[in-house]
Amino acid sequence: MLKQVAAETVAEAYLEVLASRGVEYFFGSGGTDFGPIVEAYAKRLSGEQLLPRPITVPHEVTTVAMGHGYAMVTGRPQVVMVHTIPGTANAVGGLINAARGQVPMLFSAGRNPLTEGDLAGSRDGGIHWAQESFDQGSMVREWVKWDYELRHGADVEAILDRALAISQSAPAGPVYLTLPREVLAHRIPGFTYADRPRMTPSAATAPDPEAIAQTARVLAAARNPIAIARSLGRDPEAVQPLVELAELLGMPVFEAGATHVNFPRDHGLHAGFDAGPHLGEADVVLVLEADVPWTPKRRSPRPEATVIAIGQDPLFSRYVVRGFPADVALAGQPRLTLAALVQALRSGPPEVAEVRARRSRWEAEHRSVQEGITAAAAQTKDRTPIHKAWASWCVAEILDESAILLNELGIDANQIGFTAPGSYYGVSPAGVLGWGLGAALGAKLASPDKTIISCVGDGSYIFGSPEATHWVSRAYDLPVLWVVFNNSGWNAVANATQTMYPEGWAMRTRTLPFTDLAPSLQFEMICQSAGGYGEEVRDPATLPAALRRALRVVREEKRQALVNIIGHRP
């Protein structure tokens, strides 16, 4: 059905379509190109048209991360808008995170005015000449699924429907839309549009039945199958079919750098986080939404082992170089693929005795892994500066079913026994630091009844534009518990150097330029400056109580809180 509204400009029509398509929030880092959007919002809000709700964010790193966090939790893309080329440049790191995380997002930017004449919105400021580029979209084209410049108001509905549909179609990801000021300011005699989109995301797909049948036969005949998952839990509905498949086969599941809850960690077939020592004995390796299931330079499966890759894009076609084998590649929604494999295996199951023997073996391995986690916390609980294993254990102790934890190098997530899909989120290490702060704000918007705990390293905290983050938390009543593991250094740089040159000058002399972040800032005071609660912790014995105090502030006082853990530097 068609709807007609009294929109006077393309900017008003733009916001109207976004609202009609279910977009709840418009995250904006404003600039001189925002005039038509600001004016359109003023008119909408005066008429109590509240959607999409405008959220002012004073740095693009936080802006993109908020959109990422909201879409990550809900699966629904929101609008992010930044200022022309400078804003896009600041936001590229966040786009890389969204692209590698397969997060849907309508990322938009103003476009420098096109004209020098008398049109509404044409150039009228000194920056409008120097801020021009030959191809603005080229800045982000490597990291988006689609990009376009809105060229005429008559196309606004079709362009938005296309952008949103592409963003959500598997594998999901960000799209980029630039908006010239003259086009947004163009006056129109009313606006007519369809009350529902005529272009929708592509439907979920699954491999053909013969491929499923052949794969099921390979799995049924396997003597020592193993599974490796990384981001399977991006779709929470994929976790239970994996549990059923693992139980049918007596197959262990390893999580390699997990960014989601892929398999309940209290399940006897959860075998830990490093499949490397077991690759040499596996005859079938099931790779589940894992871009880097192992490190070939260190360990790989035997040449005769069968590798089965399952994912929306099991070959990771956007990775330029990726030589991991995929003897069988099953593209489609993993929840459908796994469910089909379970059904096929129930028709031709493996030998019961073999399954029982495998399961017994791997349940013993599971117990060993859990004992190792407990031992690591116990062995480090008295160390000063505070050890990450102990800090992670203490964070685990304050989690309950109402909490969602986000982690960007702040804790060792392998220490925490996540069981529920959607209770944990990480970020691709291929991205850019600074995700954890803004993503937590987006997650809080998406799940207001949940307690959001964001664990970041000190480098991640600095990259995350903390002043902007804490301001948004205060301005929009988004209380988050921030836990900063502050070891005054960039361990990734140091570790990479040690791996390349274990006997080199840097290791022999302990001279590691570009790794030292000392003297550290008092991060808790930045949170306090925004009306939050902040506390520095140096004594490991006081950490549990400090975390509980901060959690009480977030839950009862509805204020943000930050615990600055002065940590051990390996």
pLDDT score for 430: 77
**Strand stretches in 222-371, DSSP E:** 225-229, 253-255, 284-288, 306-311, 328-331
Token duo for residue 334 = 């993993």
Confidence grade of residue 16 (pLDDT, cut at 50, 70, 90): very high
Single out the residue of 117, 118, 178 nearest to residue 144, CA to CA.
Answer: 178
208-217, 264-273, 427-436, 449-458: the lowest-pLDDT one: 427-436
CA dihedral 376, 381, 382, 384 (to 10 degrees): 90
Which one is predicted more confidently, 499 or 462? 462
- Architecture of the structural domain at 209-369: 3-Layer(aba) Sandwich (3.40)
Say if residue 342's pLDDT is above 80.
Answer: yes
Q: How far apart are CA 338 and CA 247, in angstroms?
A: 13
434 secondary structure, DSSP code: -
Which one is predicted more confidently, 214 or 518? 214
pLDDT score for 239: 98
How does pLDDT run across 354-403, given as a tens digit for each residue?
999 999 999 999 999 999 999 999 999 999 999 999 999 999 999 999 99
Token duo for residue 78 = 């929101």
Confidence grade of residue 515 (pLDDT, cut at 50, 70, 90): confident
How does pLDDT run across 291-335, given as a tens digit for each residue?
999 999 999 999 999 999 999 999 999 999 999 999 999 999 999
Handedness of CA 483, 489, 490, 495 (dihedral sign): negative
Cis amide linkage into residue 277, ω under 30° from 0: no
Confidence grade of residue 429 (pLDDT, cut at 50, 70, 90): confident
Say if residue 570's pLDDT is above 80.
Answer: no
CATH class of the region 2-194: alpha beta
Q: Would you tell me how many other CB atoms lie within 10 Å of the CB of residue 234?
A: 25
pLDDT score for 517: 87
In the chain, domain spans: 2-194, 209-369, 381-566
Say what the pTM is. 0.96
Say if residue 265's pLDDT is above 90.
Answer: yes
Question: Residue range 108-127: average pLDDT?
Answer: 92
Report percent pLDDT > 70 for the chain: 100
pLDDT score for 506: 86
Question: Residue range 62-71: average pLDDT?
Answer: 98
pLDDT score for 335: 98
Q: How far apart are CA 496 and CA 509, in angstroms?
A: 16
pLDDT score for 428: 85
Query: Same fold for the domain at 2-194 and the one at 381-566?
Result: yes
Apex 177 CA angle, 75 and 193, nearest 5: 80
With respect to CATH, is domain 381-566 assigned 1.10.10.10?
no
Question: Residue range 409-416: average pLDDT?
Answer: 95
pLDDT score for 155: 92
Mean pLDDT of the chain, nearest integer: 96
